[in-house]
Structure formats: C-alpha cells, structure tokens
Chain A
Amino acid sequence: MRSWRASASVLFAVLMGCGGAAKPHAEHAPGAAATATASALFPARVRRLSNLEYERTVNDLLGTKESIAEKLPPDVRREGYTVNADQTVPSAWQARASAITRDLAHRAATDRLDQLAPCVDHNVRACGERFIARIGRLAYRRPLDAAEQSRLIDAFELADKDGGLAAGVELVLTALLQSPSLLYVTELGEGGRPGQRLTLTPYETASELSYMLRGGPPDDDLLDRARDGAMSTADGREKEARRLLAMNDTRRQFRRFVLEWLEVDGLARDAKSESLYPRYESLKSHMLDETAGFVDEVMVYGGGSVRALLDARFASVDPTMARFYGLTSYGPRASLRGTERAGILQQASFLAAHAHEDETSPVKRGDFVLRKLLCQKVPRPGEVGVDIVFPPPSKDATTRERYANHVEISACNDCHERLDPIGFTFEGFDAIGAARTKENDRPIDTKAKFEIDGKTVSFANSQELSHWLAEKPEVADCYARQAFRFFAAEADPRVEGELDALRHDLPAARRDNLFEMLIAYVRSDLFVKREVKP
C-alpha cells in the first residue's frame, strides 16, 4: 500500500529547487534582520533526547534497525510534543535504558564486530583505540577529550583482558549508549553567567540541525563540516540544512510533528464503545496510515503549509478508507468530491481522537481548533470555578440538541459560546469519523454562526470552516508557532514573537512553506545563540 506514497527523490527535487543544487538565498538574509533586534533568545539548556530520537541515535551508531523507543517508559509531553526539555532521566528510565543497551551492545559486538571495529593487524589495543575515537565522536557528536578517551580505554581493557576485542567493544558500547553526552543535546556553548548570551559550539549547532531536521544525530559528514567551520555562517548552515532536508528522515519528522500537533498519535491507545463502533479497532491502523500518507503528500507538494493540510481537497486513502469515506477511488490523491471532507480536520483519525468513546464531542473538536489552530487559551472548567455538567443522554435528540443547555447555563456560556459552534460544524461525522446525516433518527445540523475576533462568521459545515481557517493569517501564524514548539523543542512566547518576525520577513511566496521557515530559523541568531537563565 505504500508504493503510491511520495518518494524521497521527488522530495529531493522539490527542496533543491529547479536547478537541483542548494542555493543559499543570501540576497535577503532573513536571519540578519531579526538578529539585530532580537530581544529574546531560547535558554541555554540540556535536553534529553526523546525516545524516538534516542532510538535513531542508537541505530545510527550501531548500524541497526532495532525498535527501542517502545521499550522505554513513554516520553513526557510539553504542549503535546515529545521533543522538549522536560524529558529527564529518572531511575526507571535509566534502568530500562541500561538493560536495553547492554543487550544491544552484546548483539552488536557479536554480530557486527568486523564492521564496528575492523582489526586486521591483531593489535587489540590499537584497534580498540581506533574504535573508541571513531565511535566516540559519533556518540558524543564531538571529538572526545583526552580524559574521556582514556576512561573508555580503561573500560575497554578491563573487559578485553578476559574476553578479547569483542568484550572490549561490547563494554565500550554499553558505556557510550547510556552516557549523558549521548543522552543530552547540549545548548551550552563555552558557558556563561546568568543573564549572559552565548553561542553554541559548532558541534552543538550540528546536533541541533540534525535532530531538528532528521530526528537523529549528525553523520560523519556533518561533523566534518562542523569541524571545518561551516556552522558559523548562515550560508553554511543553510547548505547543510538543505542537504539534511533532502534525506528521507525529514518525512518522518514532519509526520511526527503533524501527528503530535493534531493529537492523534495516541490513537492506537484510544478505545471506543465496542457495541457502537465494532469496526473501530480494525480501522485504526488504516486511519493512521491515511494521515501519514496525506502528510507526506502535503510535505512534498504543498511545502508542509497549513493551508494545504486544511484544505487539500484530496485524501490519501487505501481501499479500506476509501470505502469508509464512500469515495469512488483510492490512492495518494483520491478526490473528495461529493463529500463534506476537505483536509486533515475531516480525516477519521482526527475526528476519532477528538470524540468520546460513545459519542462525538463538539467541545473537544472546538477546543482543538481554538487551541492548536488559533493559539487561543481556553480555560479548563475548574479554572473558572465551574463544575462539568454532562448533557443528559437521550435517545430522541441529536448531540447538538443535547448540548443546547450548555449555553443556557451562564457560567458555562462564556467559553462554550466559543467552543460549541465550531464543534457543531463537525457533527456530520460520528465518533469514529464516519459521515452521517441523522442521529437518533433526527437530522444532523452542521450550520454554525458565531463571533470571532469581533466579526460574525457563519459556516454550512466543517468543510467551509476548514476553507476559512486555511486562508486566515492568524492560523498560519499559530501553525508556525506550533511547528517551532516541535522543531525547536521549546515554547517561549517571547522567542515565538521573534520567530514570527523572521517568518514575515520571508517573501510572501515562501512565508507559508514550513521548510523555508525552518531554513530562515537556521540562518538566524535565534538558532545559534542562547541566553543563560538565572
């Protein structure tokens, strides 16, 4: 089923432009403009890799394709995103990581010794030293200092004296795979006192670039460029960024971002009433495949823009999902003509993730649009001193009719007059995203009229809402902020203001292109400078 998906070579062509070679757009140097006035910077910090980043790091190092992330205690999220500075190394994480890495190191040293530590001259110590210098640089994403080198040689020799080269390699790998220099991405530069600003080291910059754009560690080439000074100029960073963007890994990163932004990546753990939605369990993986395939299409052909995500007017569906949607064809760009679906908000994955187990949730769907598409704060009921009142169940009313009393209770009304109408436009889709025109034998009403930003707007259904959102500049701004929270692994409203400015400096044609936005960020001082927090 995956054959029709966008291929890496297509992506390469798009990102490289018509000429096929990376051409830094130094002419307008967006970074420079923003830097001169940058009043806020991200904090100097150490960030533990997310579980997936850790998995890719270990696999890159060992040349394996092990699944590791799912064996670790799950990531702590910030604003829904797994890549963030809240990840820590509690005892339970360390214990799991230790057990996993011991096993992986053992297997690598047994099965892949020749590739990892080729040793033709049979001088085990010399081979060990070469191995440590090479693998150590990849693991720590910088050259080892003398003390580090000698500590690892000590470990190597301790194991090697009874077990030979393989034992030495195994122990060194075991140590490296769980060492703090591998586990944390550092943003510390050469250090500084509270209040001071600092510049990331070239190697730190290379790590930033690689983890941001491919979700994994810098390769040998990138480390070489870092050594040779490429990271200290905007053009040098852009060139490397474009090289990384052309790698297949970028697709995984963009998918991951969209799935976490949409809050659908937990769908596999989501349960629905088995009696009402018996198909759901078997459909879930198809739903997630659809969203992943669609996101790939939008990334390759739509520049990853929110406009394309919201209002693509096509679906990327397999035959199962095509049938579920009532489409006449399937494939990467199946027409949605004749349906009320427009883009990502009408995909079953999104609709199911933002619904209850046994009924839709206009509140959850409305809440998502306000929080994640318009970046508006929606207080939780407890915050404003309101107890939740569930609409009583009824076999003779639609969900919308049951929710009518929400706006009759004045304490609830303040928020729900914003939330509910947005949610009502999605009522043409049930709790697993199937289209419906009736509920409890009563007709569904998807029309909504409400005030937003002082203006009255009205929509016939969520398709019209999506179209409107897709063209709204505030949505593009919000989406860019959300993307930065994932790609920069930090959420700071002051820095996000700087990033907004950076994006608005781009020519209009490139402003909504996620990748051009990331390139502008990579070129800027926001990318390479940090402030030491007290």
Chain B
Amino acid sequence: MRIERRTFLAALGASIAGMQTVRANAAISRATERPMRFIGVYTPHGRAHELWQPRAGFDLRFDDSILAPFDDAAKLGKSYKDRLLVLDGIDLSAGITVGTSGHDGPRVILTGSGANGKNPSIDQYLAVECGLGAETQHTSLVLGVGEEQPDIGSCISYGPGGTPLPKWIDPKQTFAELFGAPIAGGREEVERQRALGQSVLDVARADLARLAARAPSSERTKMDQHQTALREIEKRLAGPSDSCPAPPAPDASRFPRFRAHNGGAPYLDAVADLQIDLLARAFACDLTRFGTIFLGDLSRTHLFPELPEDIHIEVAHRYDSANEHHAGTPATWKMLAVQNRYSYSKVARLLSRLDEAGVLDDTIVYVSGDMGDPAKHSSRSVPTLIAGGAGGHFKMGRYLDCRDAQGAGIPNNRLLVSIAQAFGIQTSRFGFAADPAIVSGRLDALNG
C-alpha cells in the first residue's frame, strides 16, 4: 500500500502502520523502578475558605464541603481522602511583592516567581533542566481548557527564561500529538519516511548550531530551548517500542467548540473531561511523567442552575468572607462553593484515572489557584492541595495549617523546594524574589 507523502508527518510524532499503539516503557513494565511523576493543576475563582477547610477529624463530607469530591466513593468507586494533603496558608509571596497577583497569580504557582522571574516552572525544571523527562516520548505535556493565550493570567507552565509555554486546548490535538493517526504502509515505507523526517531535522540542527555559535551568551537560553524542541521531535521520530493501547479518539461532536469565547463555554465541561482523561492516559502509557493542566475560567459554563450566569462577577466578586470583625454572608460562600466543588470534581476525576492506571502512588499532583479571597483578588492563602501517593515522600490524608499565630502564611516556594527534593533534586531554593527568605527552605511538615 502506498502512503500519501504528506502522512510522513505522522512519523514525526505519531503512531505507525496501523498498530495504534504507543511506547509504554516504564510505569507498567518497569514497576520496580517506580519513577516519580508530577502534575500541576490550576483551578479558578479562589475559594470560600469557610467551606474549604476540612472539619475536625479531616472530615470532607460536611454540608456544602468543597472538598467532598475527594471523598465520594459512590461516584468514584473509592475515596481519595487518604491521598490528599490540604494545605492552608500558602501565599504566592514572590508575586505579591512585585504586583504579580490576583488574576496574574497563575504566573507564580509553579515558578515561585513574579513576572520579573526568569526561571522555569517546577514541571519544566524537573523534566527539562534536570532531565527527568528525557526517557519518555514527551518530555512534558502542557494542557489547558478554554483559554489558549500565553499570558501570565492563563499559564502555569513556563520555559527557560520565564516565558509562558503554549497549551494544547483542543482534545483532538492532544490526542493527535499523543497517539497520532494510524498510517498505512509497510515497514519499508515507514523507514523511508523516518529517514526523510530525520533529514529535515538534520538541516534544522545544523542551522541552529551555526546560529548558536554566533549568538551572544544572552541568547543562550533561547537557543537551548529551540534545541530541546528539536530533540523532542526526534524522540517521536524514533517511534514506538513497546505497546500500550491508545484510547479511542475524542468524539468531536461533544465539543463543536473548545475556546471559551464565541459560544464555546457550554462545551468546556466535556473538553475538561477529555483533556483530563488524555493526560491520565499519557501517564498510564508512560508517554510522559510531567504535565500541567490549566482549568481555565469556566465562568459561563451554564452548568449550575442554582448560580447566576456570570460566575466571575456575580459569584467570585461577591464572595463576602468572615473575619474577626465581620460575620460575612454565608449565602455567598455557598454559591462560590458550588463552583469550587465543580473544579475539584475534575481533579478527583484525574486522581481516579491515574489510580486505575496504577500510577497514582508515584505521582505528586499539585493543585492550586491564583487567589484565596477572590473578592479581594488576594493571592494570599491560595487553595492548595497535594494529591496522589507522592511516592511515599509526603504524609498524606491530613490538613496542614501553615499559618502562624498572627495568621501569616508561608511562600509557595517552600512547597516547590519540597517537591524538587521528592524527585531527588538536592536544592534548597526555588523561584525568584528580591528577598531570599521567600525562595529558600522547604516545608518540613509535608513529610509528617
């Protein structure tokens, strides 16, 4: 069978010759090594703290509890309560000091830096800079739902130099990049296509080397990142070795649109599910060990009959919290809790999928948001969870209040340092801030 010339693109990042299979080399077949994995998740709209904080005895099932989806055996077949660490009093301090807060807070979550930072986010640091993503076909995955723009308000993954990384927001694209379209043709033709693909890469490599040799050292980071991108293409060119069943392709009729604007909002629920399932599948097949997903501003999902149309303005902005001088308005907590619980139901789905695939125990899922109190656009006390088995490095199944007696929180950088250490990276600082106290030190309490 003669294959279309254009399908040689499939050899550069897709599966081969109708096998519909992909490489899966570690999680299942090399269980003894048990590599660590990381997923970062962004959830929007802050949280209603009154209904987010677990009750005594780590109770997640009280009335209107936001964390209830993690303890919902009826829906997920089991409770994930014992795989959850609820962290109170985590501040996006490095951002707050330079004004990268509120809607710009996503910049800080995984980088521990404000907009002036140049370091990559923790997922990229581990996967690319420390080389922990080198073995898998995809060094890392950067996914999103609804919002494609690479601005600091809608990205949690940052490359070297601190620039936001593009997200795949179309499940069709995510599927195609991960599992490819089967191509017809014999082994000889596949080999030929691979040789052609390699020659394209050789030209690009040589050209890049020529350029890098002439570029000043200030441009080194850019050249390195490009080099990494070419290596990534080459990894996929090498093609599959072992096999892992590819999931069925996403049913595009479920989401005629996938961008938040221009009428896409009603489909974002389906898009979020598909992206989460594909992310989990990629981990299950060991196509990658590092991923992030930005669960965008799902403010017009029409999913909540009990809430107003515009959740951003009419729910998040109207949240009226309790404090020592003020009783707050419980009705506004309950409204925000509906949305918060929805976001966490997606995270619980991710945990469940990872669990089914047998990779949850080795995974650290870091779930956070850009704001604590959304009405104040405050990036203090942002809702933070660590989920998964974390490879046994953290003591799970508890609530940890990191606030001091005066109610002051701690920088999220400590968490990032602890995560890096769990991956065996001996670092005592992560992120960038003028004040070294912000970026230094780990969070000892995680280890129990």
Contacts and interface: CB of A to CB of B under 8 A. Distances in A.
A274 B265 CA distance: 13
Contacts of A147: 206
B249 to A, nearest CB: 17
Interface string A85-116: 01011111111101100110010000000000
A78 to B, nearest CB: 10
A191 interface: yes
A383 B165 contact: no
A231 to B, nearest CB: 19
B98 A269 contact: no
B211 interface: yes
Interface stretch (B223-231, B271-279, B345-353, B359-367): B223-231
Contacts of B166: 73-74, 90, 92-93, 96
Interface string A243-258: 0000000000000000
Interface stretch (A170-178, A439-447, A487-495): A170-178
Interface string A323-367: 000000000000000000000000000000000111000000000
Contacts of B216: 43-45, 188, 192, 194, 532-533
A152 interface: yes
A179 to B, nearest CB: 5
Interface stretch (A311-319, A385-393, A509-517): A385-393
A73 B229 contact: no
A151 interface: yes
Contacts of B163: 76, 86, 88, 90
A103 B4 CA distance: 11
Nearest to A198: B216
Nearest to A533: B218
A238 to B, nearest CB: 28
Interface string B217-260: 11100110110111011000000000000000000000000011
Interface residues of A, number: 76
Contact of A102 (B6, B96, B207): B6
Contact of B233 (A75, A95, A383): A95
Contacts of B150: 73-76
A234 interface: no
A506 to B, nearest CB: 32
A341 to B, nearest CB: 27
Contact of A180 (B200, B207, B312, B378): B207
A287 to B, nearest CB: 14
Interface in B133-152: 139, 142, 148-151
Nearest to A281: B262
B100 interface: yes
Nearest to B317: A390
Contact of B310 (A155, A167, A175, A273): A273
B208 A180 contact: yes
Given A74-B148, A95-B13, A357 B204 contact: no
Given A151-B202, A382-B99, A383-B99, A89 B229 contact: yes
Nearest to B100: A382
A103 B229 contact: no
B225 A534 contact: no
A281 B263 CA distance: 9
A358 B312 CA distance: 11
Interface stretch (A24-32, A55-63, A158-166, A454-462): A158-166
26 contacts: A46-B211, A46-B223, A74-B150, A76-B164, A95-B13, A95-B229, A96-B166, A98-B12, A103-B6, A147-B206, A148-B206, A152-B203, A158-B199, A176-B203, A179-B207, A180-B208, A271-B260, A271-B261, A281-B262, A380-B104, A382-B99, A382-B377, A387-B373, A387-B377, A393-B318, A532-B216
List the 4 shortest-distance A-B pairs measured between CB atoms, nearest first: A73-B166, A383-B99, A382-B101, A380-B99
Given A99-B9, A192-B216, 4 more contacts: A98-B233, A158-B195, A178-B204, A382-B96
